[in-house]
């Protein structure tokens, strides 16, 4: 069991630049989720996919954010024109099955720092 | 507006004693609850869950209790061990997960 893998682990960039993160879920998991965690808070939901279909997007996901899961396997999260407030830990999770009561398994996250 | 609330930011417990972490929620439609544990620089790790049709679920040293009328959950860890020192998140799941802010548990030697 290789677990959920996220790349890179850390990203430091200047304000205004674009960044892209990758998530590789557990291989047989058909659901993939993105969350964001800031200091002192719990993770907050951003969006999720079932296979390649993006089923829900949070209001937190402004139009500068886009997520894809083109072949129903790995996913990318892109942030365009980054802002200071985008500094956070971006977490990916995956789960198996159609039902909502399957525990989600998290990767170790990508920490984004905007200078 | 916080739908899942953990009102204790931190808790210190002597090794070997019972740790009790509390959580309240506001939405009576939630029907599946989870606890996650998080170490620094790692992602949250699933610990234990409970469906709203139950009032207790046990897994080794970990027991979760659900009081639906009070909209309250608690996680009991007994006996507490040094490796239990971490941040614990209470959460409700409905497709997505709604997390509380977490409680940092310190196990004292």
**Residues ≥6 apart with Cβ < 8 Å to A113:** A10, A11, A12, A13, A87
When CB atoms are compared, the residue of A42, A55, A93 closest to B89 is A42
pLDDT at A99: 63
CA gap A14, A84 in Å, rounded: 9
Report the gap between the CA of A84 and the closest CA in chain B (Å): 21
Residue A91 has pLDDT above 60, yes or no: yes
Ordered DSSP codes for B37-55? EE-TTS--EEEEEEETT-S
Residue A98 banded pLDDT, cuts 50, 70, 90 = low
Residue A65 has pLDDT above 80, yes or no: yes
When CB atoms are compared, the residue of B36, B51, B95 closest to A48 is B95
Average pLDDT, integer, range B40-66: 96
Q: Which residue has the tokens 């964001």?
A: A36
The tokens for A114 are 């905007």
A3-40: per-residue pLDDT in tens? 999 999 999 999 999 999 999 999 989 999 999 999 99
For chain A, give the mean pLDDT: 93
**Residues ≥6 apart with Cβ < 8 Å to B74:** B20, B21, B22, B23, B64, B65
Closest chain B residue to A98 measured between Cα atoms?
B95
Helix (H) or strand (E) holding A5: strand A5-7
> Do the Cβ atoms of B32 and A100 come within 8 Å?
yes
Closest chain A residue to B49 measured between Cα atoms?
A103
Angle at B27 between CA B71 and CA A66, to 5 degrees: 135
pLDDT at A1: 55
pLDDT at B45: 96
Residue B7: C-alpha distances to residues B52, B68, B98 (Å) = 22, 18, 15
- Chain B environment of A43 (Cβ under 8 Å): 44, 89, 97, 99
Length of chain B, in residues? 109
Closest chain B residue to A111 measured between Cα atoms?
B41
pLDDT at A12: 97
Asked if residue A111 lies in contact with residue A22, where contact means CB atoms within 8 angstroms, the answer is: no
CA gap B38, B87 in Å, rounded: 5
Residue B35 banded pLDDT, cuts 50, 70, 90 = very high
B55-101: per-residue pLDDT in tens? 999 999 999 999 999 999 999 999 999 999 999 999 999 888 999 99
């Amino acid at each position: 069991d290789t677990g959920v893998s996220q790349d890179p682990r850390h990203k430091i960039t200047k304000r205004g630049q674009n960044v892209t993160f990758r998530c590789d879920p557990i291989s047989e998991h058909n659901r993939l989720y993105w969350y964001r965690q800031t200091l002192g808070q719990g993770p907050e939901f951003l969006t999720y996919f079932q296979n390649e279909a993006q089923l829900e997007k949070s209001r937190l996901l402004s139009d500068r954010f886009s997520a894809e899961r083109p072949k129903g396997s790995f996913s990318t999260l892109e942030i365009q024109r980054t802002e200071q407030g985008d500094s956070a830990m971006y977490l990916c999770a995956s789960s198996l099955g159609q039902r909502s009561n399957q525990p989600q398994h998290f990767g170790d996250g990508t920490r984004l720092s905007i200078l | 507006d916080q739908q899942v609330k953990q009102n204790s930011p931190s808790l210190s417990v002597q090794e070997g004693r019972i740790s009790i972490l509390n959580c309240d929620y506001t939405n009576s439609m939630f029907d599946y609850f989870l606890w996650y544990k998080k170490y620094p620089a790692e992602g949250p790790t699933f610990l234990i869950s409970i469906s709203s049709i139950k009032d207790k679920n046990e897994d080794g040293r970990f027991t979760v209790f659900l009081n639906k009328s009070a909209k309250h959950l608690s996680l009991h860890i007994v006996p507490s061990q040094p490796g239990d020192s971490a941040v614990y998140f209470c959460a409700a799941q409905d497709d997505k997960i709604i997390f509380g802010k977490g409680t940092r548990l310190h196990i004292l030697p």
